Amino acid sequence: MRPAPLTFETVADADDWLAEKQTEIRRGEWRDPEAGAVSFRAYADKWVEERELAPLTRDLYRYLLDKHLSAFADSDLDEITAPRVREWRADRLRTTGAKTMTAKAYRLLKAIMETAVDDELIRAQPVPDQGCR
């Protein structure tokens, strides 16, 4: 059993919240609210390790994680949001002018976060398709 995330003003409010959670469970839509509390860097490192990558690709991904995606290193997966990704991308382009490397880092971030969605650690992909153009 898991406690509610807040104290309700009325019993009716609590009953409504509980009914909503039970409906999510029956539909298979409920997600553990703590599932996304996984370090991005730890998850990304594991993501790279689990793939059969050519040595140059593995080196590139490590470089991108260290140099371009370091802004997310200390964040949990569920703290990475679409607005934050847009801000990061705009900042990288503005401060580095490195369009190609920023696009590569963006695509890597997108792939990692897509796997986090597949692993049911986060509900939605925070890295939109249009950002890598």
Which tens digits make up the pLDDT trace of 64-97? 999 999 999 999 999 999 999 999 999 999 999 8
pLDDT of residue 97: 87
User: Residue 124, Cβ neighbours under 10 Å: how many?
Assistant: 8
pLDDT of residue 133: 46
The pLDDT of residue 38 is above 80: yes
User: Of the given ranges (22-31, 52-61, 89-98), which has the lowest mean pLDDT?
Assistant: 22-31
The pLDDT of residue 131 is above 50: no
